[in-house]
Structure 1
Amino acid sequence: MHYLVFIILAPWLFLQGKRVKQNTPRLPEAAGPRAGVSGSGENLSLLIFGDSAAAGVGVEYQQQALSGTLVGELSPHYQVNWQLLAKSGYNTQRAINMLQRSLSATPSLHFDAVVVSLGVNDVLSPLSAKRWIEQQRALIDLLVTKANCQTLILTRVPPMGDFPVLPQPLRWFLGKRSNEFNRYLENVAAKDQGFTLLDFGHQLDASAMATDGFHPGELIYQDWGKSAAALLIKAKG
């Protein structure tokens, strides 16, 4: 149904998208270290991987972002050897290419746990949900077979229908499209026990999001990081 609406309203939706891109402030990635060792106890190698949300766009420092919250929650339980590999604007295919380059440069690279944030830039592109899920499968395979990931957490595409920066009907359309992507991902999760799906957790209202109305704010990052940490701790037993 939403694709029928898209065909009818395509010129208007493209115009709205262009205006949003022109008028929305471009926030930088969070400043701070992108690798380190924290805590004590059993070793846990951790990768935070993906797009601008993984990179901490929306807060000033990595300590306030997903990486800082996640490492902070895990440090009382493990010695966390962590790395952040993320880039603003990256879709799934570009992220796969980035990971392949890292693995080629360091063949011994491996991670006990990986937390992934991808999908928003794919939803914004012409890519079909069917093609996207093929790319997600390729990413899962790469992380499990080449990076030796034991515990893999994929974050659901956030509900873009709640992004305050988006005008209607563009917000409605992208909300339907992000829901479609998540349904495909849920279908894969139902058949594949090799990864866990995770929600952002905190409702994406204007008060919880960054000043651009598009990226997570600190409260969302905290909730997201704590939820991911709880899953990792449970998986490690």
Structure 2
Amino acid sequence: MSLTLKLALAPLLVAQAVATRRRAPRLPEAEGARQGQVGEGERLALLIVGDSSAAGVGVATQDAALAGHLTRALAAEARRRVHWRLVAQSGITSARALELLRRERAGPAQIAVAVLGVNDVIDQVSPARAVRQRAALADWLRQSAGVRHVVFAPLPPLHRFPLLPQPLRRVLGDDARRHDEALARWAATREDVSHVPIELALGPEHMADDGFHPGEPVYRATGEALAHFIARRLITETAP
């Protein structure tokens, strides 16, 4: 969508955004422990940081959320004893995620998984600024939490979110694609950062009741895809 058309639609988009926020049910973050260990073998310390999708909004427990699926799949595929910690909060942007990590004094960890970006899109943070904020996040994780590699999950396809009306759905979807493309280009310039593209089915049956947050099938697919990437690219290929 062109900038001219986007500006022309601005009053409608703002009205749709306000109405959507008002009618959307407020779902809680998933209950359950936000740290633990799973599996057997050599120790692997994993830190998961992010927004509501990392916090498990849309499912009842962390076992059914991203953290549960990711850590179980990683322990099984990598044959490691995964010590994990989740630092996540609904509504945070990439910039606020760094503030949260500093406040929580997260770490140490060997690998970090970041699930961020939707709130950058909603708050109309530019892709370039969001990349700078993710770079600051990755640098802090490397320097202050001992992380050797940061894995960024992709932004979801907002143009397929059932809650969003048109043309708001299309506009946010276009913005999300630009953010994800910028994230991928930046990650490709660094050896200590990865962007993992994931194809997701996002029909109403895959989503939470609010039509905006992931349902258990999305958390499972995302967690397993990230675990496969970490096990194959960051553990197997770098093993002595």
Distance 2:87 2:188 in 1: 27
Q: Find the partner of 1:84 among 76, 86, 99.
A: 86
Distance 2:56 2:70 in 1: 12
**Amino acid across the alignment from 1:95:** A
1:170 and 2:168 aligned? yes
Q: Equivalent residue for 2:235?
A: 236
Q: Find the partner of 1:224 among 222, 225, 233.
A: 222
Map 1:178-217 onto structure 2 (within 5 A).
178-217=176-215
User: Unmatched 5+ residue regions in structure 2?
Assistant: none
**Amino acid across the alignment from 1:212:** D
Q: Equivalent residue for 1:152?
A: 150
Q: Describe the SS at the equivalent of 2:53.
A: coil
Q: Deviations over 1:130-167 (max 9, x none)?
A: 11111111111111122121232101111111111000
**Amino acid across the alignment from 1:58:** G
Stretch moving more, 60-69 or 187-196: 187-196
Q: Describe the SS at the equivalent of 1:82.
A: strand
Name the count of aligned residue pairs. 233
User: Is contact 1:202-1:219 (8 Å) kept?
Assistant: no
**Amino acid across the alignment from 1:137:** A
Q: Find the partner of 1:99 among 98, 101, 105.
A: 101
Distance 1:35 1:2 in 2: 45
1:200 CA displacement = 4.1
Query: What CA RMSD, in Å, does the superposition of the two structures yield over aligned residues?
Result: 1.3
User: Is contact 1:71-1:82 (8 Å) kept?
Assistant: yes
**Amino acid across the alignment from 2:87:** L
TM-score (norm 1): 0.94
Q: Equivalent residue for 1:46?
A: 46
1:75 CA displacement = 2.7
User: Is contact 2:206-2:214 (8 Å) kept?
Assistant: yes
Q: Equivalent residue for 1:25?
A: 25
**Amino acid across the alignment from 2:41:** G
Distance 1:61 1:154 in 2: 23
Q: Describe the SS at the equivalent of 2:47.
A: strand
User: Is contact 2:188-2:194 (8 Å) kept?
Assistant: no
1:68 and 2:52 aligned? no
Q: Find the partner of 2:122 among 109, 121, 124.
A: 124
1:35 CA displacement = 0.6
1:74 CA displacement = 2.4
Q: Equivalent residue for 1:57?
A: 57
User: Is contact 1:2-1:176 (8 Å) kept?
Assistant: no
Map 1:2-21 onto structure 2 (within 5 A).
2-21=2-21
TM-score (norm 2): 0.93
1:80 CA displacement = 1.2
Stretch moving more, 224-233 or 183-192: 183-192
Q: Describe the SS at the equivalent of 1:36.
A: strand
User: Unmatched 5+ residue regions in structure 1?
Assistant: none
